Amino acid sequence: MVSHYDKRFEYLVKRLRRAREEADLSQSEVAEKVGPTQPLVSRIEAGQRKIDPIELAMFCRLYRKPVRYFVPDMPV
């Protein structure tokens, strides 16, 4: 059974990958700019590793996207 949380996490993961592609960055380039290694970026985008709020903020800044792009039901 998939919980509501799982669907939201799945959406976040898809948006992270899309934002990276829209920024025309490779996973290695993201790793160089944000700090985690390329395998870690890959695991995050594959949904194999959860992302913490600080990491999400760094991705938002790098991709020039608001948090609501990744988590649309975030309160304002």
Sequence ranges of the domains in the chain: 4-67
Say whether 66 sits in a helix, a strand or coil: coil
- Express each pLDDT in 11-21 by its tens digit: 999 999 999 99
- Express each pLDDT in 23-63 by its tens digit: 999 999 999 998 889 999 999 999 999 999 999 999 999 99
Q: Does domain 4-67 have CATH number 1.10.260.40?
A: yes
End-to-end CA, the chain: 30
Burial grade of 70 (CB within 10 A; 0-12, 13-18, 19 or more): buried
pLDDT in the model for residue 75: 65
Residue 73 has pLDDT above 70, yes or no: yes
For residues 51 and 28, give the distance between their C-alpha atoms in angstroms, rounded to a whole number: 17
DSSP 50: -
